[in-house]
Chains A and B, each alone.
Chain A
Amino acid sequence: MQYVDWVQGLDIDEPVYMDANILVGSLISKHPLYGKCANVLGKLLADKVEIMLSVVSVDESIWAIVKLAYCELHHYKPSKTLWNANIYRRHRDEIFQSYESWINYVGKAVKDWTNAGAKIDVVPKTRELFEAVLDLIPVYMKEVKLTPADAVHLAIAQKHARAFLTADSDFAEVRQNPPPGDLVVIKVTA
């Protein structure tokens, strides 16, 4: 496995597994990574590259947007705001009342791009691949020191893709201690 920083013009082998932060980063215009995330995504779409998402990516993307909506409602800074399921449950109604359209954007974007011809797949694709992913998750949690969700991303990417696009610095351990495999982890930084 390799770990490289994304630069303009970098050749990216397909299929590409996309982390939630790239998807969210391409939707939030004021984010410092917005331009890079949107351009990476645009290049993949323009080059008709096969893009892979998992339900974990969708789950994390929606959580991010829900937290953002909560911060908007209360004028909080996201980086300094405590966020968990209990807070969500308490504020769910007001979040939906004001920001339901935001929460729909992830699904609408993926469906719009797919319906317009983008090659976007949901993985794991088969039971065999799913079982292989299950086996890898604890290995990556232990050896790459990842959280369960990040280990799921890396395991899915390893079993389905040639490249894993992420903005999450938690995967930096791959640079120091690369596990076996052909996957290239590509880090998008501001």
Chain B
Amino acid sequence: MSIGTMTSRRLPKPSVVEEVHVEFRSDVEESGKIVWGQINELLRTSLNRSGFRQPSIDLIQQSYREMERPSLIVVARGIAVEAGEYEERYGSIDLKYYQEHMSPELFRAFVRRIGSIKGRPDLNIGEFVDTPEI
């Protein structure tokens, strides 16, 4: 029987963190959400017990919503669009004048419909609307 010599080797010291935030997002629909919710809850509980305090579910859901929703610009009551779409649809439109001179209902209907089709820049609109030969 041989006795091996024990050697001590210094293991790398774990890095110290003050906060750990675990996020899991599923790319599956409702059925997957339940499973991911359970996994998430297990991990959160475990981390909480280890001293890593986890934010509340509400805060996580809020941060998801903020991540998923880019900043929107309100054009009229109930109508908000992303900055790029705002520039494309309303950048050349004198919205201030129309808002001052239209009823709120008409202004809303106007901005809701103008530029609602993206289309292409190379249309010849004069010829484009001709009824084709039957």
Contact = CB atoms under 8 A, between A and B. Distances in A.
25 contacts: A19-B129, A20-B129, A21-B129, A24-B129, A26-B113, A27-B116, A28-B119, A30-B88, A31-B121, A32-B121, A32-B125, A38-B114, A60-B131, A71-B120, A84-B132, A84-B133, A85-B132, A85-B134, A112-B109, A113-B110, A113-B113, A116-B109, A118-B109, A168-B126, A169-B126
Q: Which of the four size classes fits the interface of chain A? A: 35 or more
Contact of B122 (A59, A79, A105): A79
B98 A24 contact: no
Size band of the B side of the interface? 35 or more
Given A41-B114, A112-B113, A149-B130, 9 more contacts: A38-B115, A39-B93, A42-B98, A46-B97, A56-B131, A67-B132, A72-B120, A88-B132, A105-B116
Name B's interface SS.
loop
Contact of A65 (B88, B110, B117): B117
Interface string A52-82: 0000100111011101100110000111000
Contact of B115 (A29, A68, A72): A29
Contacts of B120: 30-31, 68, 71-72, 77-78
Contacts of B89: 29
Nearest to A8: B94
Interface of A: 19-21, 24-35, 38-39, 41-42, 45-47, 56, 59-61, 63-65, 67-68, 71-72, 77-79, 83-85, 87-88, 102, 105, 108-109, 112-113, 115-118, 147, 149, 167-170
Given A45-B106, A85-B132, A105 B113 contact: yes
A147 B116 CA distance: 30
A45 B129 contact: no
B119 A31 contact: yes
A38 B125 contact: no
Contacts of B109: 112-113, 115-116, 118
B87 to A, nearest CB: 10
Interface in B64-96: 88-89, 92-94
Contacts of A170: 126
Contacts of A39: 92-94
B115 A27 contact: yes
B112 interface: yes
Contacts of A30: 88, 118-121
A104 B124 CA distance: 22
A102 B94 CA distance: 25
Nearest to A76: B120
A59 B89 CA distance: 24
Given A47-B101, A77-B122, A63 B115 contact: no
B18 interface: no
A119 to B, nearest CB: 11
Given A46-B101, A113-B113, A63 B129 contact: yes
Nearest to B88: A29
